[in-house]
Structure 1
Amino acid sequence: MLKLKNVTKRFGKRTILDKLNLTVEKGEILCIVGESGGGKTTLLRCISGLERIDAGEIYIDDEVFDPSIQTNDSVIGVVFQDYNLFPHLSVTENITLAPMMVLKKGANEAKQLAQELLIKLSLSDKGDLYPYQLSGGQKQRVAIARALAMQPKILCYDEPTSALDPNLSKTVKEIILSLKEAGMTQIIVTHDWKFADEIADHVLKVEPLKD
């Protein structure tokens, strides 16, 4: 379970999040929607520990989550909007790097997990390719595989369908729902209300705070 209690985030004198309270149960999908500048991505970055909150607390399984002292990627994984794949590494190397460096997995174990994830995401023949050789949809799935390789409790996505055509958006939807069936808690920032309605257990609308 993820719980936010009175979470506040400011940039300078501007308050983005003001005493936000939120609970997401294990295995649920929360979609965060709203207009640009409303704080969707900031909220996601605060949940994942990429931004420090100014006040309040974040709990995971009833324990305070402090990314400054915890191995962040092994608790909360993030699939970024621009994928953030390393261009000089193959698909398999992109997936195995963090498990080997952070989780101290052996090379064989990390490669076996990567292959299992690639099979699951219909990328079994892409392991030796480099990001520039992949389509946008394939890059998206590699980014999901890389996040899953850290075996996180919660998986976050920033606009996972923004650059994809309808067919590829459907594929991402199917992946997200299959992960839900496996018990993965997921938090998704999206501008696509229809996509949110189709996959979410709960939808949170955020709006810019008035000064």
Structure 2
Amino acid sequence: MLELKNITKSFDGKTILDNLSLEVKDNSILSIVGPSGAGKTTLLRCIAGLETVDSGSFILNDKPFDPSDETSKERVVGVVFQDFNLFPHLSVIENITLAPMMVLKQDKNTAKQKAEVILKQLELDDLANQYPFELSGGQKQRVAIARALAMQPKILCYDEPTSALDPSLRDAVAEVILNLKKTGITQIVITHDPEFAKKIADQLLEVKPITNK
């Protein structure tokens, strides 16, 4: 279980997160929903270690946890970014295997075999040799998820996973997230879409902008 205790974060004197505490149970889906400016993405970036908090603590399975500790051999948190961040000059399989080879030090064959399993799981195995410009938005989204999964995270975070997609693809993304839950991975989803949030969530956190005096 991941616990956040009294997390506070400010930018330029403006408080974005104020003494926030929450628990995310293992193998569950937490949806964090709220309007722009409510601190959803900041919260996700703090959980992923992309931002450091001003105060507060993280507890993972009853032990103190520093998301920003890059020396950890385990990849605890993975992130699927809003704009996918795929490398345009690399094929799908190359996008997925790059980080495991460079960071986890997997050899090329091992990384490729693991990537192929993930691609099949996400119904992308026929697109392994395609390039990002050849993919639809929904396909890019699934490749971004596959790339994050290849790092074997315990927790997978999504930043607005439906915002760059046609509304008709919302249910498809929900299905992917719900299917991943069956594999035992914990997921945290940032969204401005309350209907989508409720569709996938075991736990729902509504955040609102903080009025700074």
TMscore range, shorter length: over 0.9
Aligned-residue offset at 1:73 = 7.8
- 2:60 maps to which residue? 60
Distance (whole Å) between structure 1 residues aligned to residue 200 and residue 9 of structure 2: 28
Once the two structures are superposed, the pairs formed by residues 103-142 of structure 1 within 5 Å of their partners are 103-142=104-143
Q: List structure 1 runs of 4+ shifted beyond 4 angstroms.
A: none
Deviations 1:115-151 (A, max 9, x none): 1111111111111111111110000000000000011
1:145 equivalent in structure 2: 146
CA drift at 1:41: 0.4
Aligned to 2:51: 51
- What one-letter code is carried by the residue in structure 2 that aligns with 1:33? V
Q: 1:72 to 1:105 in 2, by over 3 A?
A: closer
Q: SS of the counterpart of 1:128?
A: coil
Task: Verify the 8 A CA contact 2:92 2:128 in the aligned structure 1.
Answer: yes
Tell me how far apart the structure 1 counterparts of residues 33 and 56 of structure 2 sit (CA, whole Å): 22
**TM-score where L is the length of structure 2:** 0.95
CA deviation digits over 1:130-187, x for unaligned, max 9?
Answer: 1111110000000000000011000000011112224422111111111111211100
Normalising by the residue count of structure 1, what TM-score does the alignment of the two structures yield? 0.96
1:208 is the counterpart of 2:209: yes
Q: Give the whole-Å Cα distance in 2 for the aligned partners of 1:134 and 1:60.
A: 37
Distance 2:8 2:73 in 1: 20
Aligned runs of 1:28-43 on 2, under 5 Å?
A: 28-43=28-43
Distance between the aligned counterparts of 1:206 and 1:70, measured in 2? 32
- Change in 2 beyond 3 A, CA 1:70/1:61: farther
Q: Cα–Cα, structure 1 residues 94 and 160, in superposed 2: closer, same or farther, change >3 Å? A: same
Extract unaligned runs of 5+ from structure 2: none
Superposed CA deviations along residues 20-77 of structure 1, whole A, max 9, x for unmatched, are 1110010111001111101000000001101110101112222222223444881100
Query: 8 Å contact 2:97–2:111 — kept in the other structure?
Result: yes
CA distance in 1, matches of 2:113, 2:172: 24
